[in-house]
Amino acid sequence: MLYRETGQFKTAYAQDMAIFPIRQDRIGLGILLGIAFIGVPLLATFHIWPFGRDYLLWAILLPFLVLALAAIGTNILVGYCGQISLGSGAFMAIGAYSAYKLGTGVHIPLAWLGFAISIPPLPVLASILLGGLAAAGCGILFGIPSLRIKGLYLAVATLAAQFFFDWVFLRVPWFTNYAPSGSVNAPELNFFGAVVQTPVERYLLCLTFVTVIAFLAKNLVRGNLGRQWMAIRDMDIAAELIGIRPLYAKLTAFAVSSFIIGVAGALWAFVYLGSWEPLAFSIDRSLQLLFMVIIGGLGSIMGSFVGAAFILIVPIMLNLIPTELGVPLSTETITHLEFIIFGSLICYLLIKEPHGFARLISICKEKLRLWPFPY
């Protein structure tokens, strides 16, 4: 009843092509953004339920936002362009370490040329964005094989990226500024004089990044470039025949996806972790992102959010429910249960709903529009 388009006439082409053509969608999104930008920080500042302690903000919302951003990046490559990637974790690492190097100053001695390249420490915002750009560069480099190979073969190529960069950040001390333990600390989060420190400020920072990038991505995938990606995904030879350049389409998908993943990696390291080591971006992270995208919905920006939320919340629920029921499980059992539940869910979803939760949501919308009629 509430979700009905009757009476919403489109009188101009611009309205027809609007990003959210249905009024209820716009209102809903506005309310959601209002809650996220104003409601949550207010509640958290005054410690009103459910934000009594910082747990919800710090342990759930912050990682959710950053991983949702990384999932959007993964979704652009896997869901929209159909190039399966097991190397997302590596691109997060590239974003994080490049941002770290740029944020603490780069010094490359070129002894054989007689001089050294020195860049003074950059502001945090610049180093995060440049970290994303560095990831985009590496993404293009490791995307080049996708012009000759595809599908499972490409998965192995991206796996090469994952293991190679794992090794680089572990073994090349230059990247960690010769830290003896291999673990590095993020520079102070200073944005034009305002220092981001408390959980609420960190949350708002991530939220801003996620909102801006999600809107950009949403616009990108419904435009010319996004349609090229989807044509390549659906059948690359046919796409080539109708005049889409695979080189351009595939490499832009790699670049955009790696940029977003790189920014997410920098945020994960700087804002959420604070101090980190290469293990934070291992193959497990890549698989986790892939699962978020599959469960949330391949080829859906909103699905990335739903998938990220789901993957984060299931382990927490597994921790809470048995304790509430009075049968506390050991951490080991919980880890194993988590494995089994994730695995079965992925199989179940692939069989029953290959388009993930995003598809379920759009089915619900469709039903609502036609309600009370079944057709």
- Binding positions for other proteins, rule: CB under 8 A: 82, 84, 145, 148-149, 151-153, 155-157, 159-160, 163-164, 166-167, 170-172, 235, 237-238, 241, 283, 287, 290-291, 294, 332-333, 335-340, 342-347, 350-351, 354
106 vs 159 by CB, closer to other proteins: 159
Residue 224: CB minimum distance to other proteins, A: 23
Residue pair 296/308 in contact (Cβ under 8 Å)? The answer is yes
Residue 271: CB minimum distance to other proteins, A: 29
16 vs 352 by CB, closer to other proteins: 352
Residue 117: CB minimum distance to other proteins, A: 21
Residue 119: CB minimum distance to other proteins, A: 24
224 vs 331 by CB, closer to other proteins: 331
CA angle (213 as vertex; 94, 45 as ends), nearest 5: 100
Strand partners, 275: 185
Instruction: Give the other-Cβ count within 10 Å of 201's Cβ.
Output: 16
37 vs 164 by CB, closer to other proteins: 164
**Distance between CA atoms of 72 and 368, rounded to whole angstroms?**
27
**Distance between CA atoms of 369 and 356, rounded to whole angstroms?**
21
* Sign (positive or negative) of CA dihedral 249, 250, 253, 258: negative
- What dihedral do alpha carbons 347, 292, 19, 10 form, nearest 10°? 30
35 vs 238 by CB, closer to other proteins: 238
Half-sphere exposure of 75 (CA within 13 A, CB side): 32
53 vs 336 by CB, closer to other proteins: 336
End-to-end CA distance of the chain: 15
**Distance between CA atoms of 229 and 250, rounded to whole angstroms?**
7
**Strands (DSSP E) found in the chain:** 106-110, 115-119, 184-185, 190-191, 194-195, 275-276
216 vs 235 by CB, closer to other proteins: 235
**Distance between CA atoms of 283 and 79, rounded to whole angstroms?**
19
Find all residues with CB under 8 Å of 243, minimum gap 6, and list them: none
> Quick one: tokens of 132?
């994303």
75 vs 127 by CB, closer to other proteins: 75
Tell which residue, 76, 80, 240, 250, has the closest CA to residue 150. Answer: 250
What are the phi and psi torsion angles at 358 (to 5°)?
-60, -40
41 vs 82 by CB, closer to other proteins: 82
Residue 100: CB minimum distance to other proteins, A: 19
Helix (H, G, I), strand (E, B) or coil at 166: helix
Helix (H, G, I), strand (E, B) or coil at 108: strand
Residue 46: CB minimum distance to other proteins, A: 41
Please tell me what DSSP assigns to residue 49.
T
Residue 79: CB minimum distance to other proteins, A: 11
